[in-house]
Amino acid sequence: MKSTYRILFLLRKNRVNKEGLSNVAIRITIGGEAVEFNTHLSVPPNLWNPIGRLNGRTKEAQKANDALHKIRADIGKHHDTIYEKYGYVTPEKLRDAYLGVEIQRNTLLSLYNIKVEQKENLVGKTIRSTTLSKYLATRKRVADFIQYQYKKEDLPVKEVDFQFVTDYEVYLRTVCNCGHNSCVKHLRYLKQIISIALKNRYITNDPFDDYKLGYKPVNKEFLIEPEIKKLMNKKFGVKRLEEVRDVFLFQIFTGLAYIDAANLTKENIFEDGLGQKWIRLTRQKSSVQANIPLLDVPLSILKKYKGLENGKLLPIHTNQKMNEYLKEIAALCGINKRLTTHCGRHSFSTLMLTKGISIESVSKMLGHTNITTTQIYAKVLNQKIFAEVNKVRGELDDFEKYYKQRK
């Protein structure tokens, strides 16, 4: 029995180009399964009719409607061709045939392109735009490597062997100056693409066989009490440094990640029946709700910046600028550590644990999905304690000798 299919044109109103036009996407549904992809057609959003065409009889509207009609007709022809050849049609096969992927689908970058397009369609639904950015960045790394190593625009995926993977890692470490964990991240993205090729039987051998892709533990930088007090007591003659210091202190006493602090509004502040003020929000990274009691320091900072024009509660700079200014602040305060916005969150964790707050409570305030993530901070503290005790081990020798003599 010949399969039935449905075509639906969708306007992506949230994606408007410089000319004020929005992209038109297409959804193909067959047997309850669907795929979405770009038509590479842009139209005025105010003329769009939800039935899948433009309103009006202008030349612009007629041209766009003709293009949409042609797309529908072309897909219909591809559907019939695929059915005659295979006896069945899937949304993926129909999409690939229309896009011409059948010819180029066995190349490495074409597989990356399919993966990227899938992620594009999921932005705002199940993934964030930052996730898409990571796929785009790692695709560019691979494309640059192919050009650098092979002087080609693309490679057949069957040519990706163990040597390719090894050379790519060397390229990342030397030419791109990536650290170990950055290399592993890019290699793991490549491994995802290779997995697609294996599952579709474009290749039979896995070039990642016996290839180790383990991350190295990262030392989580955090501030101790004397360093936090240095920050609090420092007088800055420059407004931007004072603002960044205050936002950083707010992070230290609330545990908020940069993006959550940046998006903080008065709707996130509430007061319980005992008069205690809290921050209540859903973390952007994990979508987990976090409830954090507001201590005196962050309350004072909120009061200091009350009435900002943009409706935000804090004077936020970009994350890049924040980290740049924190480096300057560390030097001015005599703090010999690499300060970043995430260091504020780490400092909150260790500060709370050293003050006797239970690891379960700290985990909830941080909005961690798993308490094992919070336990990393406890482990860091234990390592720090052991290192400090080792420094004075020699000074305790007299006690050991006395103890042995008593025995």
314 and 374 co-located in one domain: yes
- E-only strand ranges, 239-334: 269-271, 277-282, 289-293
- Look at residue 362 and tell me if it is in a domain: yes
211 and 289 co-located in one domain: no
205 and 240 co-located in one domain: no
Residues 6+ apart with CB under 8 A from 137: none
4 and 77 co-located in one domain: yes
Number of structural domains found in the chain = 3
Is residue 151 over pLDDT 50?
yes
- Look at residue 231 and tell me if it is in a domain: yes
φ, ψ (nearest 5 deg) of residue 162? -60, -40
366 and 268 co-located in one domain: yes
pLDDT of residue 3: 62
pLDDT of residue 193: 94
CA separation for the pair 1, 266 (Å, rounded): 59
Mean pLDDT value across residues 311-334:
92
For residue 26, name the pLDDT band (cuts at 50, 70, 90). Answer: very high
Domain boundary among 43, 62, 91: 91
Q: Which residues on adjacent β-strands are paired with residue 292?
A: 279
261 and 384 co-located in one domain: yes
CA separation for the pair 172, 126 (Å, rounded): 30
- Look at residue 64 and tell me if it is in a domain: yes
236 and 332 co-located in one domain: yes
Coil/strand/helix, residue 90 = coil
87 and 130 co-located in one domain: no
260 and 381 co-located in one domain: yes
How much of the chain, in percent, has pLDDT values that exceed 90? 34
**Greater confidence, 391 or 285?**
285
241 and 367 co-located in one domain: yes
CA separation for the pair 248, 322 (Å, rounded): 9
Domain boundary among 216, 236, 255: 216
CA separation for the pair 315, 303 (Å, rounded): 12
Domain boundary among 62, 91, 120: 91
Taking only the tens place, the pLDDT of each residue in 242-265 is 999 999 999 999 889 898 899 899
- The whole domain housing 280 covers 225-391
pLDDT of residue 169: 95
Residues 6+ apart with CB under 8 A from 146: 108, 109, 152, 153, 154, 155
- Look at residue 1 and tell me if it is in a domain: yes
- Look at residue 397 and tell me if it is in a domain: no
Is residue 90 over pLDDT 90?
no
CA separation for the pair 140, 110 (Å, rounded): 12
- Look at residue 29 and tell me if it is in a domain: yes
The distance of Cα 180 from the centroid of its chain, to the nearest Å, equals 19
Token pair for residue 159? 């040519």
Domain with 148 in it: what CATH number?
1.10.150.130
CA separation for the pair 230, 332 (Å, rounded): 10
342 and 230 co-located in one domain: yes
pLDDT of residue 187: 95
What sections of 355-396 are H helices per DSSP? Answer: 359-366, 371-391
**The one-letter amino acid at 257:** A
pLDDT of residue 107: 87
Give CA separation, 386 vs 93, 346, 373, in Å: 59, 19, 21
- Look at residue 99 and tell me if it is in a domain: no
CB 21 within 8 A of CB 64: no
331 and 378 co-located in one domain: yes
Domain with 310 in it: what CATH number?
1.10.443.10
- Look at residue 271 and tell me if it is in a domain: yes
The distance of Cα 136 from the centroid of its chain, to the nearest Å, equals 12
**Greater confidence, 141 or 405?**
141
- What pTM was estimated for this model as a whole? 0.56
Report the mean per-residue pLDDT for the chain. 84
